[in-house]
Structures are given as structure tokens and as C-alpha cells.
Structure 1
Amino acid sequence: MRTTRHTLLALAVTTAIGLTACGADDTPASSAAPSTAALVLYNAQHEEVGQAWADAFTAKTGIKVEVRNGSDFELANQIIAEGAASPADVFITENSPAMALVSSKDLFAPVDAATKAQVPAEYSSSKGDWVGVAARSTVFVYNSTQVTDAQLPQSIMDLAKPEWKGRFGISPSGADFQAIVSAVYAVQGDAAAAAWLQGVKDNAKIYRGNSTIMKAANAGEVPGGVIYHYYWYGDQADGGAGSSNTKLKFFGNKDAGAFLSVSGGGVLKSSKHPAEAQRFLAYMSGPEGQKLLADSDALEYSVGTGVAANPKLKPLAELDIPPVDLNTLNGPKVIEEMQRVGLL
């Protein structure tokens, strides 16, 4: 029997703890002696990923981390409502727009220069107030018995064309698809994106969740759908019960559909323990935190310089993603646009 995905991530943490216990502290932020401070992490990433980073950091530094879980915009809006009274020290997300929202309210502290240097600029805030800690690629999952390679959409924009009516699924209520829509607006401009969004509303079948779309395509219920890559890779790793009849189309060519949604991390200006919080952010985005992610079964992309992604994944350098200023992705505007066309 294959070990469960949760257990594999726990094993990765155990390995990381064993390695760091006998190694020097390579986090580029404060290298002071362990603190008695207890950090609060608002975690919109997968619960297992956030907890794994917290546990490994505590084992390495002695600094305790309380993890409070929630969704991207749930926690982003909570931080905004709490303002200077927020108990959060650090915020990490699944997608970039929630980071951009908090950044737009000037609630993040500047990231330490050495930490910023650990992550390529294209995977971080252009304001220098948050950095990437993980990433997920937009893909088109399709049933290979129903769609030939020649019939595949060459751009995500093709999905608004009449020939795709009723032939693909989306999950508009989720932050993942909303982030993808925000990228279409950023890459294509408002007019073209608005026309595309109306076409998608007219053409798409509506599902709840990326896994549901993948399984529907696998069962032949719908020929294809827009999801993030790691749902398919995760199911394949677990035996392929929900994906055995499907393949992935990576759009590439700097298409809006090749959008790489970056999971960000930032320290709140209101943090009661700013030095320790910066140290935690440095750990997550640094070599040890990124290797923990890459070696785990989370199957998200590592984004830190010098840390290759899990070898099961299509290499990050081959994705040919579009240039997008992640800190300009406008989540509230996209939600309004999706409401306008009736997707929300």
C-alpha cells in the first residue's frame, strides 16, 4: 500500500528536522539566539504545507509557530479588518491576488534584503513587501479518448470560441480559477479579457473544485477543464484512479493560460515579533524550506533560487510563463467581473 500523502509530507519534515539539527542556520535574516517569542501564522496554503514549514522552523530555531488556517481572501480580508490589532505575524497564501490585496493596503513590512535575494524577482512583489514560497501552474486537463492533440486549445483564449461550448469545466467559486482570470486580465487587457470571460460563462460547465473537474474529465463527463497542475500529479502519484484517462496541456508560449500562480509570504507591519517573523519568512523561502517543499508530496513548484522542483513535475524553466506583475493582480475587480457575467 502506498503511504498517504499526508504521511509523506510528515516524513519530509522529519528528514528536514534531522538535517537541520546538525547544520548551521542558513536563514539570511536574524541569526540571533533562539527567541521565546511565539509567532502566529495565518496560513491560506494547504494546511499540511504550512504546518510542515512551521514544525521544521521550530525544530531548527526553537521559535514556536501557531498556525491558523483559512482561505486566501478569508484571511486577507480578516487581516485588513484587524488592521494594526491583527495577531498575525506572517501571512502565506495559495495564490497571488490575496497577497496583492493586503499589499495594496500597505499592511506588509518590507522583506529583508537577503530574503528577497533568495527568490527571483518575477516570483515576488514588485513593492518588495512579500516573496514567493511556492507556485502552481495553470493547465488544461483533458480526456485523451475524447480530445486529440490536434483538437486541443492552443490558448486559454480559445475556450471562449463556439466550438468549446459545453466541452470544458471550471470552478469559478474557488480562488484558483479567480487567480487565473486575474492573469487573463493582466495579460490581455480589460476589453479582451471581459469578452473572453463572457465566452467562458457561455461555454463552460460549472464544477466545485479542481479535483472534481479532473475526475469529470477522467470519467468522460466533460472532455476537459482548467485546473492547477498538482491535482493531476498528485492523483497520478496515488495510483491514478481519478486521472488515468487524462493528460495535461501546458499552454506555454507566454499565453495567459500558462500563468504561474505564486503562493506568497509576507510579514505584517503589526507583527509583535518582527525579527522572528522575518526569520521564519527567510526559512520558508530559503534553501531548507524550499527543499522541504520540493521533497514532499505536495507537488507544488519550489521557487527559491537553486532549489529544483520535484522531479515528477514538468521543469519550471519549460513552462514559458507570461510576464505578470503579481502585485497588480486585482482580486476584488475580478470578482466583480465574474459577478457581472454571472459566474459568481
Structure 2
Amino acid sequence: MMVAGCGGTGVDGGQVVVYTSVDRIFSEPVLQLAEQELGTRVVGVYDTEETKSTGLVNRIIAKKENPDGDIFWSGDPGRAALLKSKNLTAQYESPAASTIPASFRDGESHWVGFSARARVLLVNTNLVSNENDPASIWDLAKPEWKDRVAIANPLFGTTSYHMGALFEALGEDRAREWLAAMKANGVRVVSSNGEVKRQVSSGQAAVGLTDTDDAAEAIKDGQPVRAVFLDQQSGDGEPLGTLVMPNTLSLIRGGPNPDAAKKVFDFLLSTRVQEALAASCAQAPLSAGVKATPGVITLDGVAPMRVDYAAVAARLDAIMPELKAWADSP
């Protein structure tokens, strides 16, 4: 857990503390920009790559009687929904949320999404030809991919949320069947999405499940990789689709500086910030009218996985012991 102030004067509205699971290299410049624009000191509380979101959520829960944070900026909506279910977030209908589709906003105004990643398969182009790209998560459990697939530890970050979404979309039995098939096929469980990117780029793994921002970064760096959206077609109805994960903002209930926090909250939803995140970390804007950024993997035409973010969040607590046992098993 890392804490850093952006160094402002705090003369207008006091200090606002933002817990964020978004990588510090991307989130800190945005918080600095908010501080400069609003004249309010903004303090970021950051987490590590391996425990992001989970560690921050646990801290918010531990401090529920005396919160020391004002805003939770999560890299996925599951943690925001989880905090809402524990009555740890406050309702706020931000005027800046009006341009964001309703599917990416909580119906009771406890959180709102503003920039998104999606789960993709990163493919090493030196090892896999286009015609042999897997088309579905189920393909990854086939014999031709034995010992060739990487995935981040499912206890943390977007991978845990992806697992919760699969339990919700497929049902428990089918999700467990897929996990068992992947383990039997020698899937590599690595420390993070960044490590998935590194292993696929280096050829240690032929393919790996990661996020669009990691994929875009590898492509920008000239690595021999391409990104593939899985489960985009189905022979018998609607496809499973790919999981789209917006960043979310929530006000922490009982936070020390709610009025100033709302101003920071509104600024973080602005098109200016969405454009900045697209440029810095390849996150696709969700507000209408935000200009496209070269190199960003867009979500245009992508079939999304249809899940209830709150329902996925409710599953996370229940399946964590199961996911831990799966990750730890040989």
C-alpha cells in the first residue's frame, strides 16, 4: 500500500483522499491534473500490482467506523458493487455522468464507470498463425494448447472479476468445468496481467488472458503479439462475449471531505480525463463524443459479455476460497 500527495495547497475545499487500484503511473498524473484544476490537495492511495483492488477494499472495510478516504477509483466495477453491498459507499448523482451509458452506471448512483478495458487473448505472432487463433475460452483447454496458456492469479485484480463474471454468465457448474479443464491442460498461473504480457511477448507462453491496455502496451512496444477478442460468435444463439470492465468511481460513505470530493469526482468523469487515460494507458472512453486515440484497442463492434456487475460482485466473496484452491493446486 502506497500513499502519495500531489503537493497542492489545499486552500479550496481541503484535502481529498483517493484510493485507486489503477496503476500509479497512469492514475497519479490524473490526480495531479485534478489538483491543478481544482485547487484542492489530492492524495492518492495506491496498491501493488499483485493485490490491487483487493487490498484497497480490505482497507476501506477495516476503516468503516472512521474512514480516512473520500473516493474509491477502482479498475473494475466489482469492487465498487461489493462496497455498495456492505453499505460503505454513498449515493451521488454526478452531473458529469449524464454522457455515460446507463449500463455502466449503478442504478442507485453508488458508482459510475468512465473508461474501460476488456479481456482479450494476447497471442504471440511468432508462435501462432492467424488461422490458428483460439476463438473461445473453451479452445484454451484443448490439447493443442496444453502448457501454452498463461493467466494471472485469479485472486486479484481484473482476473478475479473475470472469474466471477464467468460464474455468473456460464453458471457454477460450467465455470467449474472450464477451470478444471484449464488446470488439467497445464495453464500457467502467473503473478499478474503484466506478467502474462511479458510471458506471451517473450514466447514463454503462446497465448495468455489479459486486458486490452496490457495488450495495447505490448503492441506499442513492438512485441510480436496481437489481441484477439474471444467468444464473439455462437452457432446456437447469443455468444458469450468478452468481459468489458469500466473503471468506476464511488464516494466512500462518511469520508472526511465529501463536498470537495464531489468536485474531484466530477472532474475524474470528464472527457478530458477519459482522453488522457486513452492516451496514457489505452483505456477506451465510455462517454459519447470523446475522440478516438491512435493505438487504443476500441470496443466498437465487440460483443460484450452480458453480466450484472452487482451480481458478479456478490459472487466474488463466495468463490474466493474455491479460486484460491484452484490457483494453489498443481
**Structural mapping, 1:1-344, within 5 Å:** 35-70=12-47, 71-172=52-153, 173-203=155-185, 204-238=187-221, 240=222, 243-244=223-224, 246-251=225-230, 252-253=232-233, 255-256=239-240, 258-294=242-278, 296-329=279-312, 330-343=315-328
The runs of 5 or more residues in structure 1 that have no matched partner are 1-33
Aligned equivalents of 2:242, 2:287: Cα separation in 1: 20
The question of whether the paired residues in 2 share the 8 Å contact of 1:139 and 1:257 is answered with no
Q: Output one character per residue of 1:53-99: Cα deviation in whole Å (capped at 9) or x when no partner.
A: 22111211211111111220101111111113111000111222222
2:300 counterpart SS class = helix
Question: Within 1, Cα distance between the matches of 2:262 and 2:274?
Answer: 16
Task: Tell me if structure 2 keeps the 8 A contact 1:169–1:224.
Answer: yes
Secondary structure at the counterpart of residue 263 of structure 1: strand
Aligned residues: 306
- The alignment-based identity, stated in percent, is 22
Aligned equivalents of 1:146, 1:339: Cα separation in 2: 31
- Higher normalized helix content (fraction of residues): 1
**1-structure distance, mates of 2:297, 2:309:** 22
The one-letter amino acid paired with 2:226 is K
User: Please, what is the CA RMSD of the aligned residues?
Assistant: 2.2
In structure 1, distance between residues paired with 2:289 and 2:259: 25
The alpha-carbon deviation at position 259 of structure 1 amounts to 0.6
SS at 1:317 equivalent: coil
Q: Which region of structure 1 is more displaced relative to structure 2, 318-327 or 247-256?
A: 247-256
> Kindly tell me: are residues 91 and 120 of structure 1, through their superposed partners in 2, closer, same or farther at Cα, counting changes over 3 Å?
same
Distance 1:236 1:202, change over 3 A: same
Gaps of 5+ in 2: 1-10
